[in-house]
Structure 1
Amino acid sequence: MSGNTIGRVFRITTWGESHGAALGAVIDGCPPGLSLSQGQIQAVLDRRKPGGQRFASPRQEADRVEILSGVFEGKTTGTPIALLIRNRDADSGAYEHLRSVFRPGHGDYTYYRKYGLRDHRGGGRASGRETAARVAAGAVASLVTEAAGIQVLAYTVALGGICISRGSPGRIRRESLENSLYCPDPEAAARMLDRLAEVRQQGDTLGGIVEIVVRGCPAGLGEPVFDKMDADLAGALMSIGTVKGVEIGAGFSVADMLGSESNDPLSPGGFLSNTSGGILAGITSGEEIVMRVACKPIPSISRSQQTIDAEGHPTTLSIGGRHDVCVIPRIVPVCEAMVQIVLADHLLRQKAVTP
């Protein structure tokens, strides 16, 4: 299977580079008869696009999506859906000095070792701009999940070491995230913004943690061995370039628990706890699916860094140009999209198992 494609029944292939003419996605396996318009996709893309947040890249991309195929008179036809997003504000000249120099923390060196060449303009295929195609595809996937009564919600729980006051993920609602960081704790969000301003003045960047909650997911989704639901969700989230760790349910804290603490007791009314995060033996339990992803700091910083050029000669590098200070909040809709894509695929696969 191509490394640019995800899914078995509901299949997404993304294409395009940061400074190419355009990028987009092809969606194969979407059921026919679902209502879909460009406006539905655009509403989700607008949450991710650059230039709209105080600490985001000033690159001004409208990210206007075009539906090229697979939709007729406002309904999906069951044939491949092709989505196009044109690049209109790429400044490739700002990257010319990076043509033969590897940026620390980026994919420059590893892409060069794999392919023997690389697109130095904004990172090419390894750029975070590729995620616009994922978000567009996720909007289509949400047609499948929402028809099944599933809701996916992602939000910021930590940024630059500042954490929200923890409560039950199930009590967080989208209307509580109406701030620039998609953070459910206004007091923590204010401190996060102050921290972002401080770090930007230092020429540096920050990482953070995003939590994703899936509500209304039925029990029984996921395969018993190699396509476990938690494995597929973790793989989809780890495919986002900034993500360096994924937790599901209690995550790494289970290592410090007793079995009596980590087990979720059952009663006639259902589970009495949800340490498993809604997945047992790779199959959904019907409880809320709770995940967290750790996002690394943006690698492009104006502070001097040690690196090498393509000939292996040592050099130092200070990166200018237009860059985010933190992937949060723009990564939040990307996380939602990847979860929607995996869930849509497993919902359709389940139709082959249950009558």
Structure 2
Amino acid sequence: MKAFLLLTLTGLVALDTVSGQAPVSGAPIYVPQNNFPWKNKFPTPLSVPEIKPEWIKLVDNSTVPQAPVNVKGPDGSLLVPPPGSNDTYCHWSFYQCLKPTDIASCPKGDWAPTYDDGPSPFSAKLYDYLKENNIKATFFVIGGQVIQYPDLLKRLYNEGHEIGVHTWSHQLLTSQTNEQIIAELKWTELAVKQVIGVSPKLMRPPYGDIDDRVRDIVKQLGFIPVIWNHDTFDWKLASAATDAATIETSVKEWAANATSATVGGISLEHDISEAGVEIAIKALPVLKSAYNLKLVSECGHMSHSDIYKEQTSQLPTSSSRVSPNAGPSSDAMDSLMFMRTGMMLATIALLVMLFL
């Protein structure tokens, strides 16, 4: 019996590593457990990755704004600035500050649905709905998820959806050093390019956490930051801090305000959980009834063929080009934390049974 439990425990620990329980080091030691022909090893999923030496020279640190590296509190969130502090570096998390280079909303009458943190085993149901209803959307993917589910990413690309980078470990970027930020973006870009053959230009900072230091690094690496102005708060479903009915009410209110709103919307949703996907599928027809559904590239005055660093004529084409409009929004978190907690509790339970 103990031998069986030990074997089960070993499997759970391995699965926990794949789904996000990361070691301290993010060196490329992880070999994805699938049949995709990867060209190299990667950092462990959701670990803070180490920078490749050749990537250091991609950013001229002498020109990067000297914004301080923000400090996180015991709960992992950023320490809030003292009252009366000045927003010297256009920090979105604390001051909702946006720059003209940030894509944060669509023009009046338009709406871009976006989905973060995938791909995941739950994503395919959302992909099916989008395909059946001829809807294109924008997905911001995590590097560790890409190397676990390359076939899902390939499907997204082949079906004409837009793919953006959402970092490797989903950290608050203003709390990371310049080199860590570079590693977060470049490792994810590398994984995406090995799957679909092109490198995304769009990126979304986890939690929307960005300031001028991060913006400059992002720009030097050839990325364009994308925020949002409508949060479904679907990431709260896992902790029961919200429910499906509350989110559905919010979506209906957004649709009802379409005529009076001065700008359109970019909504933050996630395809990392079954509950999140169900919410997304219910929200889409409501939004479509009130807005013209668009891709983020259209809201950012870009052609769809220009959202990747490598130009290709094989990409699906978008319709009209439009200008971005900035608007404040709320912060967001990630339901992956709850997945990792569940795996850890299962591991602890097996340990107790093993040694009783």
Normalising by structure 2, what TM-score? 0.23
Give the helix-richer structure, 1 or 2. 2
Give the strand-richer structure, 1 or 2. 1
Normalising by structure 1, what TM-score? 0.23
